[in-house]
Structure 1
């Protein structure tokens, strides 16, 4: 049976394949003191069938007869582009899917702004999937629901992190022609508990509930994307990774899931049909194309099914061929590389679990520098005058 304790948490990505496949429903995904979910087995009900271990994607070798093709793309809809994290490729995929009778699954906010996996059958519903969510989504019964649909002959497009896609494919235990899987190259997954503490901090700071969250707002351009949080009382906060305490805890690797420091799924070969990620260097692939700072999506297809699906969905996209190795080298670093572990992680979660306010935890472990605070306050002026764009060009 699956047995995850404090010594081997790095071997669990939290995908829910094991709890979903259990014939006795004796595995419960339980939140630990860091806010991550792990399987806990009821030994009295377990029949030792071994299915939970057989479907665990971390215990499997990633093997797929990949037929990889690489592209750079951008959606033609300007409104969708500006509200997408990069080039809007996933919206194109989901629109094509829904218009052709698929149910689309992906990460979305619930009414409390927790991130959960949800489904959509209309393009209006699927808007909730647009944009990055820098939190590990709660899967619930998603895998079970998808299997029921697939077995009935319904068509499904599933999107998620590489481990979630691998978990679904492993859980199903056989290929389905009516399933298309899309994963996203991710830095890592931060703690839902830290995300909640951060939301509580903002609610108290602004004396208002949160109205909307955009982890990758293009208010200062694609290359300088910021987290933008609007409150119900009309106030808002716009900060970057060096000035926002949640983003800094994420990108400085102190709030991430243990398995992310040695990720089993950081490889070009994937257990999915399509991979989507940021393209930061459009001029490397299309030399005569001006980088207008609005974003492009990198896309890799891994199967004949994925290649066909992307081609059919790309009628609303501007698409350019790209060299796979070059795309990975310059824009897909975290497709093949795990994040670096930092000893500060232990101190960070120790202080969090001692009940220290999240802003105080940040000050002690990953303090925000004065120069970054100053830069954050002048971002609006620098962007409006074009000085920010000039600085980025000089940096390149």
Structure 2
């Protein structure tokens, strides 16, 4: 009997490797009451081949190798790309390099219903959908199969995702491919798709219009301000931050993340990807001669020779500064090696939500937003224009990097 199941939820990251490898298609990924997908096995079809176990990245943890020694702080030379990216726009440069070889990119993006899925891109224009963070676990469906087919056809493929998704893909492939390039991003945790759906329902109801745009990290008030921005068909707009938004408050208070994230098997400096990327909040600590212009930089750790070659190939598109790996992890990559805080009322939160309560009521019950924060949120635009948000930004950046 195989050990793949949906019972021990902290031991499943939802990478889909087991479902994609199954030769009898007897494993399907199904939602639980928190909105996360887990493998469901039809044992009437199962032939006990145990392939699912062999490709599980948690059952088969990769042994730690030599710690990476190279790291950089980078920013894209294209100001428009930087403006629309979460941090410094480095990943766009990597994507463009793969596309120049007639390659294909796979990464997390919004679909037409603003659900987060792994989609593909084969042109520079399509890369826009990958920019900006999506604080929701992406739905991979058959992405691993599509990656393999393109690799076997001889195409260059770039895959970006959480460290567990990248490791799941590599386990699924079962052999190295010279034409595969992988990028993982340092991940706090993956929030529930159910919470995101409830959030969209709440906002659509409030603004009486359909959502036409979503960005979890729009730089409306600068790089250091994490704002979730929505735009609606009727022309209205919603801009909220980590202290005033129901979705962001749930995420940063540790109450809506996947169970495996609180005991993550992939939090380590050395990764199986070619490059690791994350936010650089403290540019002046690495490059004292630079002033923080609040536009954003990307921290990059080189994990392989492929990664080193990629940075060399795109160097003309990037502003690059060398950085010390240990210093980067200590100051900005905290979540690469430390698990996030888990709220003690997480089960009650999801029970109330799955019983039909609206998200605002659930949030105000378990992780309430203070009235003072709501009032401050309404004046945030004015404070930004007056140049009075610096202290708030520093406080927010400290909170993001504190593990809570």
User: TM-score by structure 2 length?
Assistant: 0.95
Tell me, yes or no, if structure 1 residue 145 matches structure 2 residue 150: no
- How far apart, in 2, do the equivalents of 1:53 and 1:77 lie? 44
Residues 68-77 or 242-251, more deviating: 68-77
- How far apart, in 2, do the equivalents of 1:269 and 1:65 lie? 7
Which residue of the partner structure matches residue 159 of structure 1?
160
User: Tell me, what secondary structure is at the counterpart of 1:246?
Assistant: helix
Which residue of the partner structure matches residue 169 of structure 1?
170
Which residue of the partner structure matches residue 310 of structure 2?
309
User: Tell me, what secondary structure is at the counterpart of 2:128?
Assistant: helix
User: Relative to 1, partners in 2 of residues 1:344 and 1:393: Cα closer, same or farther, differing over 3 Å?
Assistant: closer
Q: Deviations over 1:263-320 (max 9, x none)?
A: 0001001111111100000001110100001110000110001111122123211000
Which residue of the partner structure matches residue 49 of structure 2?
49
Which residue of the partner structure matches residue 232 of structure 2?
231
- How far apart, in 2, do the equivalents of 1:337 and 1:99 lie? 37
Which residue of the partner structure matches residue 326 of structure 1?
327
Does the CA contact (< 8 Å) of 1:62 and 1:269 recur in 2?
A: no
Which runs of 5 or more structure 1 residues have no equivalent in the other structure? none
> Number of residue pairs matched?
395
Q: CA deviation at 1:130?
A: 0.7
Does the CA contact (< 8 Å) of 2:281 and 2:297 recur in 1?
A: yes
- How far apart, in 1, do the equivalents of 2:122 and 2:19 lie? 26
Which residue of the partner structure matches residue 354 of structure 2?
353
Tell me, yes or no, if structure 1 residue 263 matches structure 2 residue 264: yes
Does the CA contact (< 8 Å) of 1:2 and 1:41 recur in 2?
A: no
- How far apart, in 1, do the equivalents of 2:63 and 2:280 lie? 26
Does the CA contact (< 8 Å) of 2:6 and 2:39 recur in 1?
A: no
Q: CA deviation at 1:65?
A: 4.4
Does the CA contact (< 8 Å) of 1:283 and 1:291 recur in 2?
A: yes
Cα RMSD over matched residues? 1.4
- How far apart, in 1, do the equivalents of 2:374 and 2:172 lie? 46
User: TM-score by structure 1 length?
Assistant: 0.97
Task: Report 1:141-290 matches (<5 A).
Answer: 141-290=142-291
Residues 279-288 or 309-318, more deviating: 309-318
Q: Deviations over 1:47-103 (max 9, x none)?
A: 101110111001122236455410000111111111111111111111111122210
Q: CA deviation at 1:133?
A: 0.6
Which residue of the partner structure matches residue 386 of structure 2?
385
Does the CA contact (< 8 Å) of 1:63 and 1:269 recur in 2?
A: no
Does the CA contact (< 8 Å) of 1:68 and 1:303 recur in 2?
A: no
Q: Deviations over 1:126-175 (max 9, x none)?
A: 21111101100110110011111111211100000110000001111111
Task: Report 1:97-176 matches (<5 A).
Answer: 97-176=98-177
Which runs of 5 or more structure 2 residues have no equivalent in the other structure? 399-404
